[in-house]
Chain A
Amino acid sequence: MTTVRERTRPGRGAVTTGPRPGRDPRKNIRPWLLLAPALLVMGGLLLYPLLRVAVISLQDFGLRELVSGRTDWVGFDNYAELLGDGQLWRTALPNTVVFAVATVALTVVLGTLVALLLVRLGPVARGVVTTAIMVAWAIPAVTGTYVWVFLFTPGDGLAIQALDALGLVDAATANPFTDRLSFFAVAALNVVHHGFPFVALTVLAGLLTVPQEITEAATVDGANAWRRFWSVTFPMLRPVFAVVTVLSTIWDFKVFTQIYLMPGGDGVTRSVLNLGTWSYVESFAQNRYGLGAAIAVLLTALLLVITVGYLRLLFREDEL
């Protein structure tokens, strides 16, 4: 992160805002003129809709309201229905939270292991592995999901056949997409495959800043690799690990495409809905936009809590 240079001396020219803002109104208005188009777009398409979704969650908003434009206020009925629904507590919330926790743990551990591998490699091997990692990172969520579905297609999917050869499943009957646990296991493979490159490259950049002398000194003192990581590397890179963990958490909480595009993920199999897909299915398949909005508000609130944590971490490191 770069820090903004603080101007200490009053220079000349229009870019300088003097120590006493307000003297020349033209200087005060210029940054706002520059910001106006971007703020308008973000305000109109990000902030205002966020407000609007909260308002819709207080209405009974169905196909009739969509067509006629009428509003039917129901107060907190949608929330009452949502919080009293077993679907939330038994299915959508665990599918969101447990899945996010599991994939974040897997992503961060795998990413760190790959970073530790990369730092030990020569320049050529490191270049090759780094490129391969970026290829995995670059796969769009849509096509990546289809490839994993292809691998696990019941009957003749390559991964299913491999598991069959190992005697773990029976290829003739196994369908990983109907069972909740195996459905999310395939989804986790997809999400980790797409998510660990960011962790690996960020941690690698951090590892390269750890002075070699320190790790060498620890080696001389008889510390093995495990001990060196936990006593030297990890404490020094704590901020890096904090940021990659929080960012991965934010991303893995709101996975939509990777779940929605799997067989049954679009609402056909109710037991694999997470908060994101449930909100979408409730709105656009059932035309219950009010309830869908309430679910979306719940998801946003969860993410907001995590975001506050992220900002705390970031502000300690970097002055705006």
Chain B
Amino acid sequence: MIARRFGLWLGVAGVLVFTLLPVWLMVSTAFNGRANAGSRTIWPEEWTLDNFTFVIGEGGFGQYLVNSLTVALGTVLAGALLALLAAVAVSRFRFRFRTSVLVMILVIQMVPVEALVIPLFIQARSLGVLDSLFGLVIVYLAFSLPFAIWTLRGFVAAIPVELEEAAYLDGASWGRMFWSVLLPLVAPGLVATSVFSFITAWNEFIFALTFMSDQDGFTVAVGLRRFFGQYGTDWGAVMAASTLITVPVMVFFVIAQRRLTDGLVAGSVKG
């Protein structure tokens, strides 16, 4: 029994070290005053905010954060609207080719971005939307839509049709029913898919790298590369910038995912 408990705790310790050590190193190096002076330790001897002030000020990372935030919010807003409309269509209506549309939404998620970046770069170049944040929003919108529609479809289907019918009995039009009944009920699902759309746009690398050649338009994922100099890497700056990128995503992610898995786990225990 004691051996078994010991084994369990050993397992827990192992998982915690493997999952958290890289994150801890990122954060501790970001605060390490001597990150570039050959001091690579798990616990910095000298704590400082210099790395952060450097990347935001001189490093120009403030601009990149604003760019990424703009792109991500644009993607979230447009994505939520388009995905909700489409989700209502596939979960509330029966129509010809409905199954084909659903299969397409599923299959299209497997397309590798490497295959899309060549034609979209050529297209964007001829349309003159390279180096514009708007171009990135449109691309990320397309990437986040399939998953958002697929997820929201479940949320919409879970709302009893009787509630809609009650609204019609009260004389509401379809539009009125949509805004006053469907939308409030599907809000939690909308929050979950929005979080994922935000993360998709915030983390994306290939398209941001290919489309944005002008430094003013860099997003955080691409801006990070600036701290890799020709004569050596400024690891303090890299890790400070990485921390700035990672922390918001992490907070979002833990909150949203917690809710989803809690629901999953609770349901299965009762079942």
Contact = CB atoms under 8 A, between A and B. Distances in A.
Nearest to B227: A146
Nearest to A139: B246
B108 A158 contact: no
Interface of B: 8, 11-12, 15-16, 18-20, 22-23, 25-26, 29, 38, 40, 42, 81-83, 85-86, 88-96, 98-99, 101-108, 110-123, 125-126, 138-139, 141-143, 145-146, 149, 153-154, 157-158, 161, 164-165, 168, 174, 177, 199, 202-203, 205-206, 210, 221, 224, 235, 238-239, 242, 245-246, 249-250, 252-254, 257-258, 261, 264-265, 268-269, 271
A249 B90 CA distance: 28
A48 B230 CA distance: 39
A14 interface: yes
B254 A136 contact: no
B161 to A, nearest CB: 7
A114 B13 CA distance: 11
B114 A147 contact: no
Chain B CB within 10 A, most for which of A12, A13, A250, A311: A13
18 contacts: A2-B153, A34-B89, A38-B86, A41-B142, A42-B145, A44-B142, A49-B120, A56-B122, A114-B11, A129-B12, A137-B253, A138-B253, A139-B249, A140-B245, A147-B242, A193-B18, A205-B265, A320-B102
A140 B264 CA distance: 25
A47 B119 CA distance: 11
Q: Is the interface of A mostly helix, strand, loop or mixed?
A: helix
A142 interface: yes
A41 B157 contact: no
Contact of A208 (B118, B258, B269): B269
B51 to A, nearest CB: 14
A219 to B, nearest CB: 13
Contact of A142 (B125, B145, B205): B205
Nearest to A289: B118
A52 B123 contact: yes
A45 B141 CA distance: 9
A228 interface: no
A166 interface: no
A29 B249 CA distance: 39
A109 interface: no
Contacts of A296: 112, 114-115, 118
B101 A2 contact: no
A254 B112 contact: yes
Given A147-B22, A311-B107, A41 B114 contact: no
